[in-house]
Amino acid sequence: MLLQGKTAIIYGGGGSVGGAIARAYVREGARVHLVGRTLATLAKTADGIPGAVEVAVVDASDERAVTGHADAVAAKGGIDVSVNVISDSDVQGVPILDMSVEDYLSPVITAVRSKFITSRAAARHMVRRGSGVIIAFGGSADRHGALRNYHLGGLQTAFDAVESLRRQLATELSRHGVRVITLRTSGVPEVIPDGPRAAIERDIADSTLTGSPATLADVGDVAVFAASDRARTLTGAAINMSCGAVLD
């Protein structure tokens, strides 16, 4: 098992991506703390995972709440992995020329605030132990041609900001044994609501070189690798699992 004995916190753990990562982590021997704002969704996700899973209602934008929860988890044996998969979608579907400043900036603020707060809370404990992995889901890339049919608002700017945060964190934390990674996909069709899924899934698939975008199971598997010692040489990097939609 690649994560035997590891403790991971997953922010946004009640969602599809958080659940997929949690299932993969537990399968590989980790103890997982699912964190989110809604107890019902967290409990539903946890019920579907046979293994060591705990849930906690914490708003990832609340500095005091995140710090308190991280301190409590660390006191039980430490934090090995911190994963933030909180959605930064906010307002989409509105042309940028018709969008308000507040709506454009909303996903940027959500992304940077939550990922800074959760990363810092975990890193303070990881630095003391001399090891740890911080992972964010999203990633940015020059895919604007493939996305020309969609009005994404500030979402791409939010992804770019998270990548900048990843580079800064890695630069400061690597000397303390802490790795920082982002996971980049071309989109995961399984998380799209049923109504618009067919058209969007086709566009996502067409943007890839393989013709088949990442699945939730793929995300879980790659997140396991990123958190494991087999990826010890990777930090400050975005793992490209876009199936060729983005060429590094």
Nearest CA-CA partner of 179 in 116, 136, 216: 136
Q: What is the pLDDT of residue 156?
A: 84
Edge-first strand listing for the sheet containing 81-84: 53-57, 31-36, 7-11, 81-84, 132-138, 178-184, 237-240
Q: Is residue 159 part of a domain?
A: yes
Q: Which mean pLDDT values do the consecutive 10-residue runs of the chain (248 residues) have? A: 97 95 98 97 95 95 98 97 86 85 92 96 98 88 57 85 96 98 88 70 85 93 98 96 87
> Looking at the domain assignment, is residue 2 inside a domain?
no
Residue ranges making up the domain that contains 25: 7-240
Instruction: Return the amino acid letter for 91.
Output: V
Judge contact between 153 and 107, C-beta under 8 A.
yes
Which of 119, 232, 241 lies closest to 185 in space, CA to CA?
241
- Contact criterion met (CB below 8 Å) for 161 and 115: no
Max Cα–Cα distance, the chain, nearest Å: 51
Q: Is residue 90 part of a domain?
A: yes
Q: Whats the size of the chain, residue-wise? A: 248
Would you call 195 helix, strand, or coil by DSSP? helix
Question: Would you say residue 248 lies in a domain?
Answer: no
**Domain presence at residue 23:** yes
What is the 8-class DSSP label of residue 91?
S
> What is the average pLDDT score of the chain?
91
Q: Is residue 247 part of a domain?
A: no
Residues 6+ apart with CB under 8 A from 30: 3, 4, 5, 6, 7, 8, 52, 80, 81, 227
1 domain-assigned: no
pLDDT digits (tens, 9 = 90+) for 147-159: 566 677 888 889 8
Q: Does residue 53 sit within a domain? A: yes
Looking at the 3D structure of the chain, how many domains does it have? 1
pLDDT in tens, 194-248: 666 666 778 888 888 999 889 999 999 999 999 999 999 999 999 999 899 888 8
Q: Which helix (H) or strand (E) holds 25?
A: helix 16-27
Task: Please tell me the distance from the alpha carbon of residue 239 to that of residue 32, in angstroms, as a whole number.
Answer: 22
> Cα separation of 229 and 206, whole Å?
34
CATH number, domain with residue 118:
3.40.50.720
